[in-house]
């Protein structure tokens, strides 16, 4: 009978530890899935933008066919964007894409006839909408990464999160901040 109270205390401690592990694991899984979902949203928007670019290039090419270097740079940036495998690669590709788009719109500004093209204006509007969606998806992704990384690093989660297979995720930060300091000018 004397051993019953210590046994109940040990059982209560084990149950409490089990509940804490269970709750922490479920919270980490939820945050991990949210980050994966947010990354998927980013890739969808990057693909959408990449799908708009060939049409935009063709619209500009009709007026400025001699600007071959600019078109090649946009095409290369598009291919790079489509082949990213994670936030670090996407950050580098995003910097290249922004620089290429700035060059493309700089060329487009030199052709007043292009500004009157309904096709170009429609594509321009779609690109602005897509850029807004990419920005929103990045904010959602980075918010999810912040929550997940915080949950992994706080006590007592930091003692067993890595053993449960959870690790810090990378933020989607653009490698070359100067490249995106000013968005591409798409207003004529």
* Tens digits of residue pLDDT in 161-177: 888 889 999 898 876 55
Higher pLDDT, 135 or 117: 135
Question: Does 159 sit behind a cis peptide bond, omega within 30 degrees of 0 on the bond before it?
Answer: no
Average of per-residue pLDDT across 26-32? 95
The reported pLDDT for the residue numbered 54 is: 87
- Hey, what's the torsion of the CAs at 119, 123, 126, 132, to 10 degrees? -150
* pTM of this structure: 0.75
Average of per-residue pLDDT across 78-103? 87
The reported pLDDT for the residue numbered 182 is: 54
First-residue to last-residue Cα distance in the chain: 87
Q: Would you give the DSSP letter of residue 66? A: T
Radius of gyration (C-alpha) of the chain in whole angstroms? 25
CATH topology classification for 4-180: de novo design (two linked rop proteins) (1.20.1440)
Q: In this structure, what token pair is assigned to residue 159?
A: 């003692």
């Amino acid at each position: 009978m004397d051993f019953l109270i210590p046994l109940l205390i040990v059982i209560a401690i084990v149950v409490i530890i089990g509940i804490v592990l269970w709750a922490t694991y479920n919270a980490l899984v939820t945050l991990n899935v949210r980050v994966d979902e947010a990354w998927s949203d980013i890739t969808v928007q990057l693909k959408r933008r990449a799908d708009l670019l060939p049409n935009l290039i063709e619209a500009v090419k009709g007026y400025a066919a001699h600007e071959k270097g600019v078109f090649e740079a946009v095409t290369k940036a598009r291919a790079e964007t489509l082949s990213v495998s994670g936030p670090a690669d996407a950050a580098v590709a995003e910097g290249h894409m922004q620089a290429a788009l700035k060059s493309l719109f700089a060329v487009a500004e030199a052709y007043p006839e292009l500004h009157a093209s309904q096709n170009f204006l429609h594509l321009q509007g779609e690109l602005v909408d897509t850029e807004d969606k990419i920005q929103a998806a990045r904010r959602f992704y980075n918010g999810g990464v912040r929550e997940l990384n915080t949950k992994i690093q706080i006590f007592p989660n930091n003692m067993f999160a890595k053993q449960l297979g959870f690790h810090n995720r990378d933020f989607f930060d653009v490698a070359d901040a100067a490249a995106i300091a000013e968005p591409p000018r798409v207003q004529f």
